[in-house]
Amino acid sequence: MKITIHQTDQIIGDFAAIYDYCEMAIKKNIEGLHLFPELFLAGYPLADLCLQKEFISNYQRSLKKISALFLQLPSNNKQAYLMGGLDYEFDEVGKLSKIRNSIFHFTPGKEYQNIYSKQLLPDYDIFDEKKYFTSGNQSILWDFSGTTIAPLICEDMWHSPFHERRDPIDQLVELISKDTKKRKIDLVINLSASPFYLGKTKERQERAQKVANTLAAPLVYVNRVGGEDEILFDGNSFGVNFLDNKLLLQCSSFAADCKTVEVDLPRKASALSPPTASIHVWRELLHPHLNATTPPTLPSWNDQECETVLQALMFGLQEYARKAGMTNFLVANSGGIDSALVLAITKLSLKNGQRLEAIYMPGQHSATLSYELAYALAKNLNVKITSASIKFIHSTIKNSYLQDFNNPLKGVADENVQSRIRGLILYAHSNQGNFMVINTSNKSELAVGYSTLYGDSVGAISLLGDMYKSEVYSLANYINRKYNNPIPEKIITRAPTAELRENQTDAQSLPPYDFLDPILEGILSYSMDKESLSQAGFDSTLIDKVYDLYRKSEFKRYQFCPIIKIKKKSFGRGYRVPISKK
C-alpha cells in the first residue's frame, strides 16, 4: 500500500495555512493513504482556546472550506486523507456540550466523515485533555480499498492502570478474534501530537513495535512538528514492521517532512501475540534514573544526546521567535558558563536576516577576567558586544536609599539591586532595538531560588531552565569539540560566581553541583523524600538545606519565563505545586 506521511508544522489556529497545505497536498494527486498528525486541522495543545467562541467559529468555517475543496474534485476512492481534528457537539439551544479529539476521513468528491475518536485522554504532566475532551467509545476497524486499518490517536497505544478506560489494543484483539468475516488487521496507524523529551524517539518506536507485534500488522506513526511555547514536537514519524523489528520509514527530527512509501501488508492472517503489557506512564515519570553509586550521580550525556539537546534548543528558540514575530536576540554576557552557553546556542541557531547582540554589565565586584572572557567569547562567535557599567546607577540608588530611608542598603538587598539594574538595562535595550531577551538561568538555580526576581531571572524564553549545572558543562564541552572551541576554556574551568559581592562564588551559597544536581533530580523528577535521599547515601544536613531552599523558592518559579522542555519532568506547564503551603 502506498502511504504518504504529512509531518506538518502549522501555528495553532492558523486556518489559512492549514487550508493552503491541504490544497497543496491535493494538487500533488498522490494515490493511496494520506496520514496527518493529531489535531492537524486545529493545532495542539489548544488548552482553553478550544472553548472560545471565535476560535470555534473560525475552526468550523475552515472545516467547511476544506470539505468544499474535496467535494469539488472528481470522485476517487483510491485516495483517502486522514486528518486529526476537533468534533464539536452542541445541544438544542446551540450550547457547546462535547468536544472529541477525532480522525476525519476526507476523500475526493465526497463528504468528510468522523471515523474514530480518541479513547485515552491524558491528564498528567503537561497534558489536560480530560478537562476539554470527551473520550471515544471504542476501537474500530476501518476499511480502505480492501485494506483493514486499525486507527489510534497518540495516547491510545500507551494504556496503563492510570487510565480509566479499557485498553484500545485489547479491544482490537477482541474485534479480530470475534469477527465473523474472519478479517485480519492489515495496518495500524497512529496520528499523534507527541511532545519531545530526551529519549522519547526510542520509547515511541519500542512501544509501537510491541503494538505491531500484538496485532500482527505493520504500524505507521505520524507526529507533528513545532514549538508551542515551552513544549516541543519533534516529528520523527516512523513505521515499524511486525516481528522482524525493522523500521519501514523514518522522518526528519525538528523539521516538517513529507514522505511517500510503499508498505508491504501481510498477505495472510498471523497469530496475534498476547496483549501488550500495560505501562504506567505517570509512574514512569517518577522512576529514578540515577547512576547506582553511593551517593547517586546524574548520568552523563553522550555526544548523541548532546547533539539532540542542542538541536532541540535551537529549534525551540527559533519556533518561539518565529511565532512571536521576533528576529533580534539579546543576551547578558557575564563571562560565566551559563551566559556563554546561551550566547553560543543562540548564535548557532541564527537564520538569515536575524541579529544577535550581547551586553556585558560590570559592577564594582566584577573581575577583570570576566571582562576578558566575555569579550573573547563575543569575538569567537562574531557577536557584537557592548559594555554598560552598572556602577554609577548602583551608587546613585544606594545614596538615594540612604537619604530616603536613613538606612544603608547592604547584604542581599544590595546584591539584588545590582541584578535588577542589569535586568533594567537589558530591557531598555530590548525595547529600543526590538530584541528578544534570552534568559540565562539553569535548572539548578531555579530549583533552589538562586536568582533574583526581575533581575537575572528576566527573559522571554529560557534555554537552560531544564538543564542542571552539570549538564550545562556537558553541552558546553560538546559545542567546543564540535565547533572548534568557541567558548574559552577558562569560562568552563573557572569557579561559577554571580559577582554581586567581594570574592563571591556559588559554592559559598550552594552545595557542590555534583551533589546538588542528583539531589534535585531525586526531588523534582522522582518525588524522593528526605528519607529516600538519605538511604541513597546523601548527607542528611545537605538534604535538609536543599529541601529548604527548594520549598522556599516556589514563588520565583511561578513568575519565571517559559522553559524549553527537554526532559520528562520539567518546571513550567507540567509542574504544578502551590506557592502557599506548609
Query: Domain coordinates of the chain in residue numbers?
Result: 2-282, 303-510
User: So what's the pLDDT on residue 117?
Assistant: 98
Determine what percent of the chain is predicted with pLDDT higher than 90: 82
pLDDT of 235-249, one tens digit each? 999 999 987 878 999
Whether 147 has a pLDDT exceeding 90, the answer reads yes
SS3 assignment, position 503: coil
Query: What is the pLDDT averaged over residues 281-289?
Result: 52
Quickly list DSSP for 132-195: T-PPP-----EEETTEEEEEEEGGGG---TT-SSPPHHHHHHHHHHH-TT-----EEEEEE--B
Check residues 256 and 269 and name the one with the higher pLDDT. Answer: 256
Whether 418 has a pLDDT exceeding 70, the answer reads yes
CB atoms within 10 A of CB 132: 19
pLDDT band per the 50, 70, 90 thresholds, residue 295: confident
**Average pLDDT of the residues of the chain:** 92
- CATH superfamily of the 303-510 domain: HUPs (3.40.50.620)
pLDDT band per the 50, 70, 90 thresholds, residue 162: confident
Contact 319, 425 (CB under 8 A): no
Cell of 495: 569557579
Alpha-carbon distance of 404 to 413, in angstroms, equals 15
User: So what's the pLDDT on residue 250?
Assistant: 96
SS3 assignment, position 337: helix
User: So what's the pLDDT on residue 581?
Assistant: 86
Q: Which of 188-197, 338-347, 372-381, 520-529 has the lowest mean pLDDT?
A: 520-529
SS3 assignment, position 416: helix
Contact 186, 147 (CB under 8 A): yes
Burial 349-388 (b: 16+ CB within 10 A, else e): bbeeeeebbbbbbbbebbeeebeebbbbbbebbebebeeb
Alpha-carbon distance of 256 to 413, in angstroms, equals 48
DSSP state of 4: E
Please state the three-class secondary structure of 515-536 as a single string.
HHHHHHHHHHCCCCCHHHHHHC
Contact 519, 543 (CB under 8 A): yes
CATH number, domain 2-282, options 2.40.40.20, 3.20.20.70, 3.30.465.10, 3.60.110.10: 3.60.110.10
User: So what's the pLDDT on residue 275?
Assistant: 57
Whether 283 has a pLDDT exceeding 80, the answer reads no
Whether 270 has a pLDDT exceeding 90, the answer reads no
pLDDT band per the 50, 70, 90 thresholds, residue 281: low
User: So what's the pLDDT on residue 495?
Assistant: 85
CB atoms within 10 A of CB 182: 7
User: So what's the pLDDT on residue 268?
Assistant: 67
User: So what's the pLDDT on residue 183?
Assistant: 75
pLDDT band per the 50, 70, 90 thresholds, residue 163: confident
User: So what's the pLDDT on residue 457?
Assistant: 94
User: So what's the pLDDT on residue 242?
Assistant: 87
Whether 294 has a pLDDT exceeding 70, the answer reads no
Long-range contacts of 69-74 (CB under 8 A, 24+ apart): 69/19, 69/22, 69/23, 69/26, 70/26, 70/106, 70/107, 70/108, 70/109, 70/110, 70/112, 71/109, 71/110, 71/111, 73/26, 73/108, 73/109, 74/108, 74/109
Longest dimension (CA), the chain: 91
